[in-house]
Amino acid sequence: MSEQTPSYLAGHLAPVPDEIEAFDLHVEGALPTELTGRYFRNGPNPVPGEDTGHWFTGPGMIHGVRLNQGRAEWYRNRWVHTKRTDGAPFRGPDGSIDLAAGAANTSVVKHGGKIFALMETTWPYELSPELDTLGPCDFNGRLTTGMTAHPKEDPETGELHLFDYGVRPPFLTYHRLTADGELITSFPVSVPGPTMMHDFAITKNHVVWLDLPVVFDMAMVGRGMPYQWSDKYTSRIGVMGKDDPTVQWFEVEPSYVFHVGNAREDEQGRVVLDAIRYSRDAWNQSWNQVGGAPRAEQAARLAVASLHRWTLDPATGKVTEQALDDGAAEFPTVDDRRVGRPNRYLYAVDQHAIVKYDSERGQIARHELGEKWHAGEAVFVPASEDSGEDEGWLLSIVTNDDPTVASQLLVHDATDLAAKPVATVHLPRRVPAGFHGSWIPDGELTR
């Protein structure tokens, strides 16, 4: 690749040209027998010869590894076959979106015994456990908007909270599914403009909205992702009851959030939100890079996104902000059993490391991969249903800069992240660095 090649088509992001599968993968170390299921990871992968103009817009490809009783039975990768993959335009000249023509390239989640590939603002696409594309899902005609790539499942009720944002009113719509996957609640939420709301949060009693100053720009349609930072758009975080569309808004320092770590209610009834915060400079530099600026044109990185905390007090209307770390971080994750509840541990990745934050002790543990290896999102899998919050495994696909070096699925003991992985699954090919993944136990597919 030349220095003029867009960044999303080069190095550790370079797409692979085909779909393959391999069986009986080599495992270094010992896979925990508790890990019986599938690890799926989603990300953009343009077809050979295609340049979609932005890293975020390439068609989705799922990379899957099947683990069973200490064995790595198979690896396979499959494009998610949507109308977009078949050539239909994603967005019309007026900015309108075909809900069945998304790239389905951002995340892959399980809910109600089904597997969905997701991309915000479009319908989810259902997949088989073997990664065949089954088709778009609108939940029996009840979903008339798109669906976020970051829905939140309440660990107590099993309900799935989700939303859609759009380029024309209503700019934000809230939805909720039952544990069995029935869409039961939908209503608009008032925001002043077409903000790009990539993620949100829930607590036991609330939904937390991120109304931040990256907004749709009609003049940019047809040139990659048509969003840019606006100094005129106020940064706000909203707190809404799960059954009450009234939102209490808190104005915060100008910033942007791609990904939430977790939110919770503290003993004083305040809402505490932990997320990866981008300043204006950090956002602009990151957007320039993922937008495809050739490496020769990318400025030295001077600002980083890092872990931040907002404490919102509904009783007083006041908000406080606190930087929890000054180091770079992204793709935060928690034990899914702690979503919306108090959590001690939060996991994330730096470019060449997997990171664990211990909020009780104020400690940060790191597993360094080396400068040529890039860390993928670390997904926590509990050792058992009743194990402690940090008792389990972290799964992450790591990718080398060298296109001839195959990727690896690392399995770490979450309680000792700095140590050598307990198991390394050697994959049969390089897996481009991508976005989000999920661990899907066998039992979740047979309910």
Closest CA to 47 of 87, 6, 3, 5: 87
CB contact at 8 A, 373 and 384: no
> Is 269 buried (19+), middle (13-18) or exposed (0-12) by CB count in 10 A?
exposed
Measured CA to CA in angstroms, residue 411 lies from 9, 32, 39, 324, 406 at distances of 28, 9, 11, 26, 16
Asked whether the beta carbons of 186 and 175 are under 8 A apart, the reply is yes
DSSP class per residue in 372-400: TEEE--PEEEESSTT--TT-EEEEEEEEE
Show the DSSP H helices in 224-314 as ranges. 280-290
In contact, 340 and 262? CB cutoff 8 Å: yes
- Residue 198 marked as a ligand binder: yes
Q: Tell whether residue 150 is among the known ligand binding residues.
A: yes
Please state, as a whole number, how many other Cβ atoms lie within 10 Å of the Cβ of residue 252: 21
Sign of torsion over alpha carbons 274, 279, 283, 286: negative
| Chain-centre distance for alpha carbon 351 | 16
Question: What angle is formed at CA 440 by the lines to CA 435 and CA 442, rounded to 5 degrees?
Answer: 160
Helix H or strand E segment including 288: helix 280-290
Reduce the DSSP state of residue 172 to 3 states and report it. strand
3-state secondary structure of 329: coil
Q: How many residues does the chain have?
A: 447
Q: What is the DSSP letter of 91?
A: B
323 close to 279: Cβ distance less than 8 angstroms: no
- Is 81 labeled as ligand-binding? no
- By DSSP bridging, strand 363-368 and strand 437-441 are unpaired
Residue 388 phi, psi (nearest 5)? -70, 170
| Gap between the Cα atoms of 300 and 305, Å rounded | 15
- 390 touches 408 (CB < 8 A): no
- 436 labelled binding-site residue: yes
Residue 309 and residue 304: Cα distance in Å, rounded?
Answer: 16
Could you tell me which residues are annotated as the binding site? 150, 198, 259, 436
Could you tell me which residues are annotated as the binding site for Fe cation? 150, 198, 259, 436
